Amino acid sequence: MVYSMILLVFENEPLNPNVFVRPQTTNHFCVSQSAFKTSFASVDFRAKKTVYWQLSAKMGDNNQESVKYELLDSSVKTIIHKAQAIREKAYCPYSKFAVGAALLCEDGTIVDGCNVENVSYGLTICAERAAICKAISQEQKSFKCIAICAEMEDYFVSPCGACRQVLAEFNTGMEVYLCKPNNDIVKTSVTKLLPLSFTPNWVSFST
């Protein structure tokens, strides 16, 4: 059986309490909490979220695959460690949600970053963008991969839309390793996270 879906579970009931599918993203099924509970009534709700995410990751669906830490290249292991370590430096007094990111540049340089929040919440800078800005100021702009580390029991935290766009500016083929402090890892890529992206190739400022 091939699974190619991600379940998005609403904490609050959406307008339509029934299961529905977003037409443009056929691999994303959105279910209400009650529909989810009805379908999987025998399992604890928190556990179910884990089961589903892991199932999706294990099956190697279109968007991500589970990878074993031990089998990764040493350079990838290093950025994972860096992302885990820099996460401790996050400035996140409002959300208390610390995130670390580390980029592996083409020449082997590693650049890390953590989220930096602001009392004007919208000014928050995510770990991924913090790392990119730091890299650019170090004259690095060719990135092979990025590791992103956060702690959310049941989920692998994935870059927000703004960060996906910023990563796509530099390399849509960039590998993305979503990791947890315990070395659970899911591998994806910028193009998988942001298909049909708007990139510098699309614009010309010469005319």
Catalytic residue check, 128: yes
- Smallest gap, in angstroms, from Cβ of residue 176 to ligand THU? 10
* Tokens coding 156: 């692998």
The least distance separating ligand THU from the CB of residue 131, rounded to whole angstroms, comes to 10
Instruction: For the segment 139-168, give every residue that binds ligand THU (CB under 6 A).
Output: 148, 157, 159-160, 163
Does 92 contact ligand THU by CB under 6 A? Answer: yes
Helix (H, G, I), strand (E, B) or coil at 18: coil
- 193-198 long-range Cβ contacts below 8 angstroms, 24+ apart: 193/63, 193/158, 193/159, 193/164, 194/161, 194/164, 194/165, 194/167, 194/168, 197/164, 197/165, 197/168, 197/172, 198/165, 198/168
What does DSSP assign to residue 1? -
| 127 touches ligand THU by CB under 6 A | yes
- Active-site option among 88, 128, 139, 153: 128
Contact status: 133 vs ligand THU (CB under 6 A): no
Catalytic center residues: 128
Q: Where along the sequence are the contacts to ligand THU (CB under 6 A)?
A: 92, 95, 97, 99, 115, 117, 124, 126-128, 148, 157, 159-160, 163
